[in-house]
Structure 1
Amino acid sequence: MEKIRKNHRPLILVTNDDGVMAGGIKALVEAVRSFGDVVVVAPDAAMSGMSHAITVKVPLALTKVSEEEGLKVYKTNGTPADCVKLSINALFEDKPDFVVSGINHGTNSSVSVHYSGTVGAAREGALNGIPSIGFSLLNYNADADFSTAVKYCRMVFDYFLREGMENGIYYNVNVPDGQTIKGIKVCRQARGTWTEEFEKRVDPRGKIYFWLTGYFVNNEPENDDTDEWALTNGYVAVVPCSVDVTHYSSLERLKQREMPLFEK
């Protein structure tokens, strides 16, 4: 497989966790295609909830699906993070200029960011020093209307293309469903929890199994500086995220203590 080379236009890697045939990834290609040459590398099946998982027990395949001027589409049996890693190592001669992931079918706000394969792919891009953004739409339907999301994803991408992004930072962008959006808010991740309930079932052979259900609880619904508040009130939520998970105030507090267990 001949490696892809850059030309005078930005090279944009597009991926997702809903699969190469999902409506959301087609919408994201539409959103960013006018800004550069687009290469899609996406899972060959749905990979929702994979977070930053990588494949280590089976080999990965990479198959070209289609090609036209300014757009190449590939599929792989790997995870969203695999899509980015594999592309960088096996497909591109040089790293792409941007990684964009999505548009996810469903929200990735608050603590869902930790489970999201969409965001995991953006995080992998940031780990490799590539400006990266994950996009999601608050609609879980396979036939969701992405027309408004395309508009706002294009606006956000255009902004960061012009203004640049800090190294080690990636952005988690969630778009409300529907046609009426009030604007775009930069905000923080809301503190929330998933109340997970496993429904107990019995298969035809009498074997017990469990099906994950549950619902999200916003622990600070009154605070207007969070992604959950923004989405509930009709705004696109843009949350800057860091690949560095060090909690610096705890680090400094531990350094100040006389604890023979730890070296300063």
Structure 2
Amino acid sequence: MKKSKPTILIVNDDGVTAPGIKALMETMAEIGKVIVVAPDSPQSGMGHAITIGKPLRLDKIELYEGFETWSCSGTPVDCVKLAKYHVLKGIKPDLLVSGINHGLNNSINILYSGTMSAAVEGAIEDIPSIGFSLDDFTLQADFSHCLKYVKELALSVLEKGLPPATLLNVNFPNTQDIKGVKVCRQAIAKWAEEFDERMDPHRRPYYWMTGKFQMNDHGEDTDVWALEHHYVSVVPVQFDMTAHHAIPALTNWTF
């Protein structure tokens, strides 16, 4: 009996019309049956937000010929939830891929990323999940050098699976000269925010958040190091945020 093609759910946070999701769709179509459920507008920086205070809209659209595509008014995580319970009618896809994001989601950025939160939601639902991001924020970003690795990683996950409660965070350097792939740890870094205060025409203050990325982790086993040295970084991620190493210390406290 001929084995049926795997069902692949595609989500992102840049919106259903973003060039990155189109590149991902075309590559995944070489592997399996693709279903797209993505936000109707950019949702970068939404993290794991869900919509609870207003209704959601989900519309099937004819945007990409040959692809089943749905546009959602909510967040990337909303897209995953609606994909599972409405579009797929509770049937679990074989793979969830999120991206390809315009901009990196390395280091601490994973906590803010809508791209990665969609993949995390997939893992919570026990779907093998991968988030893909490229170090290029522009709409003119060239994803061609990423696609070979996107396909190889997707095929590997489909074939070998992932450890329980684990997903992959994959970031690509912005260069055609990729040296290979490195399995890394998440670098320890943070954003040092500043807020630029301005005045609107009614003399009321408003604020633009700015800031700089502070990197104090100089290990050669981090995603930041790998990207700076032209490697694809692959970080296994878990949604269990328990600080297991702290439990022994806390059990000695008196409450």
Question: Letter of the aligned partner of 1:180 in structure 2?
Answer: D
Corresponding residue of 1:62 = 58
What do residues 197-254 of structure 1 show as CA deviations (whole Å, max 9, x unaligned)? Answer: 111111222221000111211111x310000000000000000001111111111332
For residue 92 of structure 1, the aligned residue among 74, 88, 93 is 88
Task: Give the structure-2-normalised TM-score.
Answer: 0.95
For residue 43 of structure 1, the aligned residue among 34, 39, 52 is 39
Task: Kindly indicate whether residue 73 of structure 2 is the aligned counterpart of residue 77 of structure 1.
Answer: yes
Question: Letter of the aligned partner of 1:244 in structure 2?
Answer: D
- Per the TM alignment, residue 31 of structure 1 is displaced from its structure 2 partner at its CA by 2.1
Identity of counterpart residues, as a percentage? 48
Corresponding residue of 1:16 = 12
Contact 1:131 1:167 in 2 (8 A): no
- Equivalent positions of 1:205-220 (< 5 A) are 205-220=202-217
What do residues 39-64 of structure 1 show as CA deviations (whole Å, max 9, x unaligned)? Answer: 00000000000000000011111111
Contact 1:175 1:235 in 2 (8 A): yes
What do residues 175-212 of structure 1 show as CA deviations (whole Å, max 9, x unaligned)? Answer: 00121100000000000010111111112222210001
Aligned partners of 1:35, 1:240: CA distance in 2, in Å? 22
Task: Kindly indicate whether residue 196 of structure 2 is the aligned counterpart of residue 199 of structure 1.
Answer: yes
For residue 155 of structure 1, the aligned residue among 129, 152, 155 is 152
For residue 174 of structure 2, the aligned residue among 166, 171, 177 is 177
For residue 189 of structure 1, the aligned residue among 162, 186, 191 is 186
Question: Letter of the aligned partner of 1:235 in structure 2?
Answer: Y
Question: Letter of the aligned partner of 2:135 in structure 1?
Answer: L
Corresponding residue of 1:121 = 118
- Equivalent positions of 1:28-39 (< 5 A) are 28-39=24-35
Task: Kindly indicate whether residue 150 of structure 2 is the aligned counterpart of residue 145 of structure 1.
Answer: no
Question: Letter of the aligned partner of 2:212 in structure 1?
Answer: Y
The runs of at least 4 consecutive aligned structure 1 residues that moved more than 6 Å come to none
Question: Letter of the aligned partner of 1:44 in structure 2?
Answer: D
What do residues 129-181 of structure 1 show as CA deviations (whole Å, max 9, x unaligned)? Answer: 10001000000001111111222211211221222111210111000012110
Corresponding residue of 1:223 = 219
- Per the TM alignment, residue 90 of structure 1 is displaced from its structure 2 partner at its CA by 1.1
Residue 197 of structure 1 aligns to a residue in which SS? strand
Q: How many corresponding residue pairs?
A: 251
Corresponding residue of 1:3 = none
Superposition RMSD on alpha carbons, in Å? 1.3
Contact 1:137 1:177 in 2 (8 A): yes
Aligned partners of 1:80, 1:100: CA distance in 2, in Å? 12
Task: Kindly indicate whether residue 221 of structure 2 is the aligned counterpart of residue 249 of structure 1.
Answer: no
- Per the TM alignment, residue 68 of structure 1 is displaced from its structure 2 partner at its CA by 5.1
Residue 240 of structure 1 aligns to a residue in which SS? strand
Residue 196 of structure 1 aligns to a residue in which SS? strand
Task: Give the structure-1-normalised TM-score.
Answer: 0.92
Unaligned stretches of 5+ in structure 2? none
Aligned partners of 1:197, 1:21: CA distance in 2, in Å? 31
Aligned partners of 2:95, 2:65: CA distance in 1, in Å? 20
Aligned partners of 2:201, 2:148: CA distance in 1, in Å? 48
Aligned partners of 1:73, 1:91: CA distance in 2, in Å? 10
Corresponding residue of 2:107 = 110
